């Protein structure tokens, strides 16, 4: 259910650039609730960018509504303590914290502590772990912190996360910080739409590429014809048309409706983080977006990744990293110049979030142009079989739907495979995948972890991959797997349905895990979109294609036509959620309940 009121009268038309970049003074307007609704135009805007920090073991949070203006049109946001982002919670490992959450909305709400390991009753997922927080009520969360690192929290009710309800969590190690830094900044990325999120969802259900303004053009066709010949260009276009898919369908939403935010500031608002030359600066990147993958870089300043999803990793220096909703990365940078741009472009290249690291206010650095859009290639739809033929350069040949468009007489097993896109074991498609909820299946997925993803393969910059991550203290449980669970990430783009094994949440039954067992989970992506998969309540220990431990994560991005596996030890009884962290994918059915007994 949407928390926004009916749409307000249209504001004066703003330019495309102003809409994409946002307002320089955008943010939460003074006043909360009825006071804000009564006097929005009389109050000056207050700049977002540095939310308050709350410390200690006793914390009070209040969920309410605030009037915001990011694009020139006032709207109603869901806020915590009147702030976007919500207050940063600075906690300490080993402490038992009590967090009282009061709901002043007109509908139920909740808070989920993303990545925090705790009793299921405190996990904050309505209908799974508790009933939710009714209007006017206060719910008390109480749990002991058994970990340290960078995490975040957000609503798990309706579309409240997309309308402003998210904040950072920093858990200080009990024995003191082992990552040396002279300065520390949280960089929380998110996205905002002036539209009612349920209206956005309805548009996607009616036309899944409604917000994709980067469809193939006549100029693209002429370029393909000049390079590959007219016949090949025609065949390529016919194939995509027959599949009713687009090679530029990289994201459900774009800058056509989204404003990309960094710490609650628009690109024009330009969040700022201070430093002194020569300092080691720790940047805690959190993707709190409802629907956006970000590619993050700081031109002229290498980043050394030291933590992934709150867990320390062997340091690795990169120019850029991609992360999806739910993921976090901590990096160390050592600035030497006076100013740098923190640049986070959306994966579909329709827009960006932006901030500045500088030694003084008023300084800025050039903002790079958006990278060109890279088309999905054969490997992104056909997996290992497609990768051997085409590794995905810009405007590459499309991938194939094996069910509807297989080539007559093709022997998949006899096809050679690109060693960089290793084929996995024999694929098992569930019978439920052969229904109307699934429009494609991948019979030969790739299982490599060293692909940064479409758009990052040919930039000349070093981009982080999952293969670069190595958790410092190894796996939590040295045992091998006792049994396996395999689930396929499925969808139908024309219907805009998303699911596991072709079954939307309402048609599914819970996934059962035995307490204390060592379990291998295989996720096989049968779609052409990347899904950030979040398993609540337990760590996912990613492994390589040959079964070696890689990294401990709470959110795992699964690329198109990719098959990944991880080990898990269910060590907390109860009921848990497991879902894609793209909000509309979760709402459209890519959600399962997990029961540990």
Banded model confidence at residue 212, pLDDT cuts 50, 70, 90: confident
Least trusted range by pLDDT, from 417-431, 446-460, 481-495: 417-431
Q: Which two tokens stand for residue 302?
A: 């290498």
Provide the H-helix boundaries in 398-550: 402-405
Q: What is the pLDDT of residue 49?
A: 64
Average pLDDT over residues 550-563: 97
Q: Which of 158, 63, 152 is nearest to 113 (CA)?
A: 152
319-329, pLDDT tens digit by residue? 999 999 999 99
Q: Which of 195, 323, 349 is nearest to 258 (CA)?
A: 195
Q: What is the pLDDT of residue 217?
A: 57
Phi, psi of 55 (to 5 degrees): -125, 165
Distance in angstroms (rounded) separating the CA atoms of residues 423 and 563: 9
Banded model confidence at residue 377, pLDDT cuts 50, 70, 90: confident
How many CA atoms within 13 Å lie on the side-chain side of 403? 14
Number of residues that make up the chain: 597
Banded model confidence at residue 16, pLDDT cuts 50, 70, 90: low
**Eight-state DSSP code of residue 211:** T
Strands (E), 206-319: 258-262, 271-274, 281-287, 294-297, 303-308, 311-318
- pLDDT for residue 264 is more than 70: yes
Which residues face 83 on adjacent strands?
A: 80
Stronger pLDDT, 252 or 227, i.e. the higher one:
252
Q: What is the pLDDT of residue 380?
A: 74
Banded model confidence at residue 42, pLDDT cuts 50, 70, 90: very low
Least trusted range by pLDDT, from 231-235, 554-558, 593-597: 231-235
Q: What is the pLDDT of residue 21?
A: 80
Phi, psi of 519 (to 5 degrees): -125, 135
499-537, pLDDT tens digit by residue? 999 999 999 999 999 999 999 999 999 999 999 999 999
Q: What share of the chain is helix, strand, coil (3-state, %, to 5)?
A: 15, 35, 50
Q: What is the pLDDT of residue 131?
A: 97
Average pLDDT over residues 459-463: 97
Q: What is the pLDDT of residue 286?
A: 98
Banded model confidence at residue 415, pLDDT cuts 50, 70, 90: very low
446-455, pLDDT tens digit by residue? 999 999 999 9
| Positive or negative torsion for Cα 395, 396, 400, 406 | positive
Distance in angstroms (rounded) separating the CA atoms of residues 246 and 358: 41
113-167, pLDDT tens digit by residue? 999 999 999 999 999 999 999 999 999 999 999 999 999 999 999 999 999 999 9
Q: What is the pLDDT of residue 249?
A: 73
Helices 230-243 and 218-228 cross at an angle (nearest 10°) of 130
Contact 522, 486 (CB under 8 A): yes
CA trace torsion 307, 310, 312, 317 (10° rounding): -10
Q: What is the pLDDT of residue 397?
A: 32
Q: What is the pLDDT of residue 250?
A: 83
17-41, pLDDT tens digit by residue? 555 688 887 777 644 433 333 333 3
Banded model confidence at residue 225, pLDDT cuts 50, 70, 90: low
Q: What is the pLDDT of residue 115?
A: 98
- pLDDT for residue 552 is more than 60: yes
């Amino acid at each position: 259910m949407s928390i926004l009121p009916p749409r307000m009268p249209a504001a004066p038309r703003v330019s495309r650039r102003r809409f994409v970049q946002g307002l320089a003074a955008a943010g939460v307007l003074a006043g909360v609730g009825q006071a804000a609704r009564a006097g929005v135009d009389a109050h000056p805007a207050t700049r977002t960018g540095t939310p308050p920090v709350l410390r200690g073991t006793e914390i009070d949070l209040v969920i309410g509504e605030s009037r915001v203006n990011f694009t020139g049109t006032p709207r109603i946001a869901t806020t915590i303590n009147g702030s976007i982002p919500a207050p940063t919670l600075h906690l300490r490992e080993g402490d038992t914290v009590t967090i009282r959450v009061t709901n002043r909305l007109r509908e139920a709400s909740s808070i989920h502590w993303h990545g925090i390991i705790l009793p299921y009753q405190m996990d904050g997922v309505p209908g799974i772990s508790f009933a939710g927080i009714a209007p006017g009520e206060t719910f008390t969360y109480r749990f002991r912190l058994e970990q340290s690192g960078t995490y975040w929290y957000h609503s798990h009710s309706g579309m409240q996360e997309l309308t402003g309800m998210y904040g950072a969590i920093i858990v200080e190690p009990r024995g003191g910080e082992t990552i040396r830094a002279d300065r520390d900044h949280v960089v929380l990325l998110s996205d905002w739409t002036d539209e009612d999120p349920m209206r956005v969802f309805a548009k996607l259900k009616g036309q899944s590429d409604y917000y994709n303004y980067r469809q193939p053009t006549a100029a693209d066709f002429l370029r393909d014809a000049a390079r590959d010949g007219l016949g090949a260009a025609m065949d390529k276009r016919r194939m995509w048309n027959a599949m009713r898919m687009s090679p530029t369908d990289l994201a459900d939403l774009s800058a056509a409706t989204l404003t990309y935010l960094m710490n609650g500031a628009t690109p024009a608002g330009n969040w700022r983080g201070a430093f002194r030359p020569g300092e080691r600066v720790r940047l805690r990147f959190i993707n709190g977006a409802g629907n956006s993958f970000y590619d993050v870089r700081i031109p002229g300043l290498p980043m050394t990744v030291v933590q992934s999803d709150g867990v320390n990793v062997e340091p690795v220096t990169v120019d850029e990293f991609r992360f999806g909703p739910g993921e976090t990365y901590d990096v160390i940078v050592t600035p030497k110049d006076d100013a740098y741009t923190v640049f986070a472009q959306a994966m579909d290249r329709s827009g960006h979030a932006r901030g500045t690291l500088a030694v003084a206010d008023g300084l800025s650095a050039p903002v790079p142009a958006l990278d060109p859009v890279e088309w999905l290639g054969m490997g992104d739809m056909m997996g290992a079989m497609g990768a051997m033929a085409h590794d995905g350069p810009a405007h590459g040949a499309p991938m194939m739907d094996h069910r509807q468009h297989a080539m007559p007489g093709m022997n998949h097993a006899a096809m050679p495979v690109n060693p960089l896109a290793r084929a996995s074991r024999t694929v098992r498609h569930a019978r439920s995948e052969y229904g109307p909820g699934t429009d494609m299946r991948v019979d030969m997925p790739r299982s490599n972890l060293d692909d940064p993803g479409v758009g990052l393969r040919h930039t000349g910059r070093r981009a982080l991959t999952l293969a670069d991550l190595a958790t410092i203290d190894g796996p939590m449980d040295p045992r091998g797997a006792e049994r396996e669970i395999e689930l396929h990430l499925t969808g139908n783009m024309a219907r805009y349905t998303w699911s596991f094994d072709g079954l939307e949440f309402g048609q599914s039954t819970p996934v059962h895990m035995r307490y204390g067992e060592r379990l291998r989970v295989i996720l096989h992506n049968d779609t052409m979109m990347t899904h950030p998969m979040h398993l609540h309540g337990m760590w996912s220990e990613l492994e390589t294609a040959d079964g070696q431990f890689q990294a401990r994560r709470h959110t795992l991005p699964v690329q198109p036509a990719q098959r990944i596996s991880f080990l898990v030890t269910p060590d907390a009884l109860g009921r848990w959620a497991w879902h894609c962290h793209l909000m509309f994918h979760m709402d459209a059915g890519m959600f399962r309940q997990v029961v540990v007994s």
